Amino acid sequence: MSLLQTITLSHTPSSHSVHVALYRNVKNSAFLEQQLLGGNSDYEYAFIDARVILSKVHVFASCFRAIVDQLSDKLRTRNVHSEIVLALSPNNNIRTAFRNFGITANTSSLLVVKIGHSTQSSSIRKHLEEVIEGDEIEFCDSVLAGIIDWSLVSRLYKLGNTRQDEGGNRKWQWEAEADSKEAEMRVLNSIALRGMTN
């Protein structure tokens, strides 16, 4: 059974619904990356390293920004899917955005996003089942929380440093639930403001 979710974001047409699936233990990331880099239109997805995703809202914010840019003819990349990866980045450098947020040959936790009509979900589901070699898992905040690499997120978004717990162990200050919500707000602000300050 597929766990692909299809969501139509507020203020966007159903022709631009968000289809999203989450995978762990992906074994063919190098192949998927090559298809993407080669411009194979069958692989026109946003392939995102799931370790840098804080929440569903984080994903949907970048999708919304990319959809609005596409509908306004303001894409800076070749399609809405690459624009989603760029929208995750706190700066305007496309190459850096793909290196930091996109798929690489070593990606094992993968978030896949496809923008398309809401009626396309069954064909998208079928294609993903055929091409992704990995374990599909539920796309929800609690699962994402177990995948996050806080050291990577803190570095990419310049969130801050570590602190020591009672036992003297180094912990990222954003690992506590209340702190992670603050981190999420800072990340969402950077998505909203990208381009305004760079």
What local confidence, expressed as pLDDT, does residue 170 receive? Answer: 56
Taking 80 as the threshold, does the pLDDT of residue 162 lie above it?
no
Q: Domain residue spans in the chain?
A: 5-148
In CATH, which of 3.30.2380.10, 1.10.3210.10, 3.40.50.11540, 3.40.50.2000 is domain 5-148?
Answer: 3.30.2380.10
Threshold 0.85, pTM exceeds: yes
Q: What is the pLDDT of residues 49-103, one digit of tens each?
A: 999 999 999 999 999 999 999 999 999 999 999 999 999 998 889 999 999 999 9
Q: Residue 1: name the closest of 104, 158, 137, 112 by CA.
A: 137
For residue 173, CA distances in Å to 109, 131, 142, 165 come to 23, 38, 18, 10
